[in-house]
């Protein structure tokens, strides 16, 4: 994208294809929509395919800005982004992963444990940079709009930022892997994160040699995608497809979901 444009439109619009200009402001063209869906369907949790190639600062800036424009409860924006390139720091994080992962492997049995041990579950040292996304629970004072009866909403807002970051990275050709097998206290200790700040996500980020066609855990036989039509319920938990008579529109919705699932070759 051209950095020198200073139009009032978001800069990312600048190099869009000409036909997008026919779309009224605020509307999304078929091409825009395709870009979003492509990002969603081709996003992967990357662990093994990182390249050492440097991520340009301008690309990283775009990815972080996308994260920063996530929704947040009461517009709290509770996140910080710790960009970690230091090898000594990443080595400590890696050791914390190894320790937690060894204990984790023991929780699986037999063939399942063998399969678990065969999986590479992080790219801490391989990726050129790591990002720890944290949540400051006190950022907007003691009472936050929308958090009065749901105190976890600030953590959820931070997760929305992670998902924005992940999708933006994918469109930039960058892989992201979320490493959740690290004791939270180890992140506090190694990164000096105060106890009132929650480390929500530890991410590895970088260019990759390739992206898996389907989620890696499916390709490697760990667990398969569930059919979405079995996860849709109507007007309440027990009003599942089996137990009630579906309306025409409910039947149509499930049928459309089944059709689309069948034709997505990555499903």
Q: Can residue 204 be called a binding residue for a copy of itself (CB under 8 A)?
A: no
d(CA 52, CA 49): 10
Q: What three-state secondary structure class fits 99?
A: helix
**To the nearest whole angstrom, how small is the minimum distance from the Cβ of residue 226 to a copy of itself?**
5
Q: Can residue 93 be called a binding residue for a copy of itself (CB under 8 A)?
A: no
**To the nearest whole angstrom, how small is the minimum distance from the Cβ of residue 63 to a copy of itself?**
10
* Residue of 27, 174, 190 whose CA lies nearest to 99: 190
Interface residues for a copy of itself in 104-143 (CB under 8 A)? 104, 107-108, 116, 119, 121, 134, 140, 143
d(CA 82, CA 194): 13
Question: CB-wise, 52 or 194, nearer to a copy of itself?
Answer: 194
**To the nearest whole angstrom, how small is the minimum distance from the Cβ of residue 195 to a copy of itself?**
11
Give φ, ψ of 253 to 5 degrees: -60, -50
Question: CB-wise, 125 or 257, nearer to a copy of itself?
Answer: 257
d(CA 172, CA 166): 10
Determine which residue in the list 160, 241, 244, 246 makes contact with a copy of itself, applying CB under 8 A.
Answer: 160
Cβ pair 25, 16 in contact under 8 A: no
Q: What three-state secondary structure class fits 208?
A: strand
Q: Can residue 70 be called a binding residue for a copy of itself (CB under 8 A)?
A: yes
Indicate if the alpha-carbon torsion angle 43, 161, 131, 99 is positive or negative: negative
* Residue of 71, 84, 238, 98 whose CA lies nearest to 181: 98
Interface residues for a copy of itself in 248-267 (CB under 8 A)? 249-250, 252-253, 256-257, 259-261, 263-266
Pair of tokens at residue 192:
């000096």
Q: Can residue 182 be called a binding residue for a copy of itself (CB under 8 A)?
A: yes
Q: Can residue 167 be called a binding residue for a copy of itself (CB under 8 A)?
A: yes
Determine which residue in the list 21, 49, 53, 60 makes contact with a copy of itself, applying CB under 8 A.
Answer: 60
Determine which residue in the list 37, 53, 91, 120 makes contact with a copy of itself, applying CB under 8 A.
Answer: 37
Determine which residue in the list 166, 203, 204, 207 makes contact with a copy of itself, applying CB under 8 A.
Answer: 166
Radius of gyration of the chain (CA): 21
Q: How many residues bind a copy of itself (CB under 8 A)?
A: 139
Q: Can residue 246 be called a binding residue for a copy of itself (CB under 8 A)?
A: no
């Amino acid at each position: 994208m051209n950095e020198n444009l200073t139009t009032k439109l978001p800069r990312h619009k600048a190099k869009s294809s000409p036909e997008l200009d026919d779309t009224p402001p605020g509307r999304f063209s078929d091409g825009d929509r395709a870009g979003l869906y492509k990002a969603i369907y081709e996003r992967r949790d990357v662990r093994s395919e990182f390249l050492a190639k440097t991520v340009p600062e301008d690309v990283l800036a775009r990815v972080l800005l996308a994260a920063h424009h996530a929704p947040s409860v009461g517009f709290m924006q509770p996140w910080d982004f710790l960009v970690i390139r230091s090898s000594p720091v990443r080595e400590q994080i890696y050791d914390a992963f190894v320790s937690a992962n060894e204990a984790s492997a023991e929780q699986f049995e037999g063939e399942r444990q063998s399969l678990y041990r065969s999986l590479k579950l992080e790219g801490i040292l391989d990726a050129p940079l790591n990002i720890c996304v944290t949540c400051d629970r006190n950022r907007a004072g003691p009472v936050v709009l929308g958090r009065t009866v749901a105190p976890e909403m600030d953590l959820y807002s931070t997760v929305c930022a992670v998902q924005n970051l992940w999708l933006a990275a994918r469109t930039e050709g960058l892989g992201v892997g979320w490493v959740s097998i690290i004791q939270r206290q180890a992140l506090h200790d190694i990164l000096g994160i105060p106890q009132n700040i929650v480390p929500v996500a530890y991410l590895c980020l970088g260019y990759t040699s390739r992206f898996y066609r389907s989620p890696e855990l499916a390709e490697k036989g760990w667990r398969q995608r569930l059919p979405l039509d079995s996860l849709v319920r109507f007007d309440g938990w027990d009003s599942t497809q089996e137990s009630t008579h579906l309306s025409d529109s409910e039947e149509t919705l499930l049928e459309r979901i089944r059709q689309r699932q069948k034709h997505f070759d990555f499903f």
